[in-house]
Structure 1
Amino acid sequence: MKKALALILLFFCLSNFSYSQGKFVVQNKKRSDKIRFKFINNLIIIPVEINGVELSFLLDTGVSKPIIFNFLNVSDTLKIKDTEKIYLRGLGEGESVEALRSKNNVFRIGDAIKLNQDLYAVYDTNLNFAPRLGVPVHGILGFDLFKDLVVEMNYSHKYIRLTESEKYRYKDCKKCERFNLEFYNNKPYINSKVKIKNKQIPVKLLIDSGGSDALWLFEDDTLGIVSNKKYFEDFLGHGLSGSVYGKRSKIDEFSLKSFVLKRANVAYPDSTSISHARKFKGRNGSLAGNILKRFNVIMDYRNALVTFKKNGYYHEKFSYNKSGIELAHNGVRFVKERENYISDNNLSNETNQNGTKIVFDARYKFSLKPAYEIVELRIDSPAYRAGLKNGDVVLSINGKPAHHYTLQEIMYMFYDDDGKRIRLKVDRDDVILNYTFQLEDFFK
């Protein structure tokens, strides 16, 4: 009897082991787990453990493969093996990038674990999101997680919930809208509508949680998807194959059934940057973070469903960078800081009731602080006309040292109200310069 029981237990363990090898499994009694995330520039950054190493990944519905970027000694640190060289292609004007495909990696996200996950390591030093976001980001994860689990992205409370499909139960929600998903190359698409020049146009959009903009549309005269006369050329972001540029503008409305967002931001990427994306002929653009964040979203790939429920961000005004400056964290710089040192000696003019003399002695220390560099500058923007240049390192903003702010806090200042005055002190090739400009609302 004991031998038979032992064999049954062995079979049960082996069955569970085999099952967890092929997919993400939530290893707790509830078969569900909540994971807090960092919310940076409309993007979700989640903690991911790979082969026992804790990293930070961008949660991106727009990628079909987990990719790790610019991680030194990745083969040794993550103990990856069974590698083969491949080439990956994505958005941008450049060529395909070289990567190493590794098999049999152990991924853990909270209580969710997968034992034989493929991983694609890209060694191109230009593909590094951390400088633009100001926080460590080691890679991107998408389809492999979403296909196995129901993923709730709660933007308002900054957490995701991972639940095994068999255990997930939908709640009645009169204020929700649910859509069927379509898939192409393991990426989710949704049918929605845009209103351009007072014309309602049905569009098929990639749901792209890895994009920080609101909406990208691919211009198509035959469908009426064209920018209006009020637009400006701008840097739109980075793809796997390089930088993406295009037009920024506004549309009359964007609709998800009963949810209607007016005067939403839109970008029209140039044709060379999206040649790879347009291989799917039915695609009209992307639905990205600045709209997704206005909802709490349930992604259910198993049943090909997505559910939207509006949250506290829903009525937030659509804004954009009114300065023309894009900053990035570019290493560190030595900063001389004053610190007050209190001591007893005969040099002070201050004497307390006990006759003790106290001197406040100004002393200084040198510290390493983050350096914020201008990496993109929109032509004819307020900052451009003021004389700022790419490569300038920002030392202070409105009289306060730049290192007292996070990168995102500085960037948020550039989204402020029309007419807001910005004073920048910059280091340009070891020459200290001062500039002043006012934010301008191009669409006002």
Structure 2
Amino acid sequence: MNSFFRHSVFFIFCLPVLLVAQEYTLPKSEKYEKVKFKLVNNLIIVPVDVNGAKLSFILDSGVNKPILFNLSDQDSIQINDVREVSIRGLGDGDPIKALSSSNNTFQIGKARNNNQLLYVVMDKELNLSPRLGIVVHGIIGYDLFRDFVVSINYSSKVIKLYDPQLYKPKKRAKEQTLSLHLEKSKAYLKGFVLIGDKQNVPVKLLVDSGSSDALWLFEDVEKGLDVPKNSYQDFLGQGLNGGIYGKRTKIKGLVLGEFHLKEAKTAFPDMEYFSSITSFGERNGSLGGEILKRFTAVYNYRDSTVRLRKNAMFNDPFNFNLSGINLQHNGMRYISESIADSRGVVRDKGDSFGNVQIVFESKTRLSIVPEIIVSGIRAGSPGQEAGLREGDVILAVNGKKVHNYELQKILEMLNEKEGKRVKVQVARFGNDVMVTYVLKKMFK
């Protein structure tokens, strides 16, 4: 299943500068804290306790201070010392009103900060949970990388937060230490790209674990960063101020130290969406989660280094959206199914996208299940040419009812492999419609 497209989610902010002393610490004599995470769309989702409330955050190395952006009417959380501010991020919208809050207690495992500054975006439209299929309340980044040596193992889905004073690196075979360039709370790696007949074009890339994409490059013909002929216009991801669009393609290779990633999936974003950034300096793009997940990495900001080692995903093919279809959750819907004789009420997992099942004596089960809709579709794609429309409710893929699967698995089913015939059953204006398409190569 090598063609599953992953939504990019990323935020680059212009935030007010507040001088607030804050630091994460571990209990005395503890060398490190081990935290399990979920890997969704190449994004790291970590549990964070905020003033006693248990929330989920994306670990985003590209963001300075934590931001809460998905507080529903059911969420109850205390935030302290509040004032109103404006923040700006990527996208074509206007700056957004937000709340700045200091003196908050953040806890990740045993790692604790009793004086954490955070920002709260109250705009309900900024909600990543429907796109990811999992509840996410916010993003957190630089403060953790600043205060700890951070080890990220994508294979075991474990983060270790080491006390820098007690940390002693272990030498491992086939591991390489690269220089991190730290500028204004962000980390950059230098490498080379191979585009067309241009070999080893030097690039400086933002390390951005908050992007689920692979590689972004900023078009610069003079430098040799021009868009290959085989490319297509596409939705690249969601920024704070709206959607980001640009060209998708692949390049011959990306070189980081001694590591060479071949046929790397690449996007060239339309630069109009970066109007909030006054200067890129020497930056030429970003490294996102679809590349970062191919390494076990140890980030040491105090030493300005990162130690990289290949993991089992290193040689996995890069994923493209062959169908052209984007999906998201759209609340819940009822379904009726015939079952064996049984009675009572059954409740599945207790998360926001779980199923509630009600059983009647007539051997019929009425279930409340997540509704999955087509949230976007690329012009000229197999899905669009077959007649799928934005707003269609996905019922089944190749005969498999989608309410039995997580959102990311459904996307895999829609984009399984080149040449695959896919049959999609959708609900449209109260009628069931069957659509069939064949997945085609993105590039010749």
Specify if TM > 0.5: yes
Pick closer, same or farther for the CA change 1:419–1:83 going to 2, 3 Å: same
Q: Does 1:139 align with 2:125?
A: no
Work out the CA distance in 2 between the residues paired with 1:145 and 1:281.
25
Q: How many equivalent pairs are there?
A: 406
Q: CA deviation at 1:411?
A: 1.0
How far did residue 436 of structure 1 move? 0.6
Match of 1:327 in 2: 327
C-alpha distance in 2 between matches for 1:277 and 1:413: 38
1:311 is the counterpart of 2:272: no
Alignment-derived partner of residue 198 in structure 1:
197
Offset of residue 29 of structure 1: 2.9
- Match of 1:140, as an amino acid? I
Q: Which runs of 5+ in 2 are unaligned?
A: 1-20, 344-360
Aligned to 1:291: 291
Aligned residue number for residue 216 of structure 1: 216
| Residue 119 of structure 1 pairs with residue 99 of structure 2 | no
What is the aligned partner in structure 1 of residue 167 from structure 2?
A: 168
Deviation per CA, 1:141-193: give whole Å up to 9, x if none.
00111111111110111010001111111112341122222223311111111
Cα drift, residue 432 of structure 1:
1.8
Question: 2:202, 2:414 → 1: CA distance?
Answer: 33
TM-score, length-scaled by structure 2: 0.89
Paired with 1:322 and 1:182, the residues of 2 have a C-alpha distance of: 36
Secondary structure in 2 aligned to 1:411? helix
Task: Check conservation: 1:28, 1:111, Cα contact below 8 A.
Answer: no
Give the CA deviation at 1:28: 5.3
Counterpart for residue 99 of structure 2: 100
| 1:274 Cα deviation from its structure 2 partner | 2.3
Matched residue of 1:291: which SS?
A: helix
Larger CA deviation: 167-176 vs 271-280:
271-280
8 A Cα contact 1:43 1:58, kept in partner? yes
- Percent identity between the aligned chains? 44
What are the Cα deviations for residues 76-134 of structure 1, in whole angstroms up to 9, with x where unaligned?
Answer: 82211211111111111212211100110000000100000011000111211111110
Deviation at 1:73, TM superposition (A): 5.4
The letter of the residue matching 2:179 is: N
Number of the residue aligned with 1:247: 247
Residue 374 of structure 1 corresponds to 374
What residue number does 1:72 align with? 72
| 2:407 pairs with 1:407 | yes
The corresponding residue for 1:435 is: 435
Q: Which of 112-121 and 314-323 deviates more?
A: 314-323
Q: Check conservation: 1:339, 1:362, Cα contact below 8 A.
A: no
- The Cα shift of 1:217 comes to 0.4
Separation of aligned partners in 1, 2:117 and 2:138: 13
CA distance in 2, matches of 1:97, 1:121: 10
Q: Alignment partner of 1:118: what SS?
A: strand
- C-alpha distance in 2, partners of 1:396/1:77? 36
Report deviation, 1:342: 7.3
Q: Deviations over 1:346-391 (max 9, x none)?
A: xxxxxxxxxxxxxxx9621211100011111000000000011111
Report if the CA contact (8 A) 1:340-1:362 is conserved. Answer: no
Tell me the TM-score normalised to structure 1 length: 0.89
Q: Which runs of 5+ in 1 are unaligned?
A: 1-20, 344-360
Higher helix share: 1
2:182 and 2:301 in contact (8 A); partners too: no
Task: State the distance in 1 between where 2:416 and 2:388 align.
Answer: 19
Look at both structures and tell me which one has the larger radius of gyration over its CA atoms: 1
Relative distance call for 1:156 and 1:194 in structure 2 (3 A) is same
Deviations 1:19-50 (A, max 9, x none): xx731011253331111100111110000000
Tell me the amino acid that sits aligned with residue 419 of structure 1.
G
Residue 129 of structure 1 corresponds to: 128
Cross-structure match for 1:8: none
Q: Which amino acid aligns with 2:203?
A: V
**Distance in 1, Cα, partners of 2:314 & 2:340:** 46
- Choose 271-280 or 231-240, whichever is displaced more: 271-280
> Aligned AA for 1:58?
I
Cα deviation 1:232-253 (Å, max 9, x = unaligned): 1111110111101111100011
Cα deviation, residue 413, structure 1:
2.1
C-alpha distance in 2, partners of 1:277/1:304?
A: 24
Q: Distance in 2 between matches of 1:140 and 1:182?
A: 22
Number of the residue aligned with 2:348: none
Distance change in 2, residues 1:252/1:105 (3 Å): same
Specify the SS of the correspondent of 1:290.
helix
Please give the alpha-carbon distance, in whole angstroms, between the structure 2 residues aligned to 1:342 and 1:35: 41
Inter-partner Cα distance in structure 1 for 2:298 and 2:97: 34
RMSD of the TM alignment (CA)?
1.6
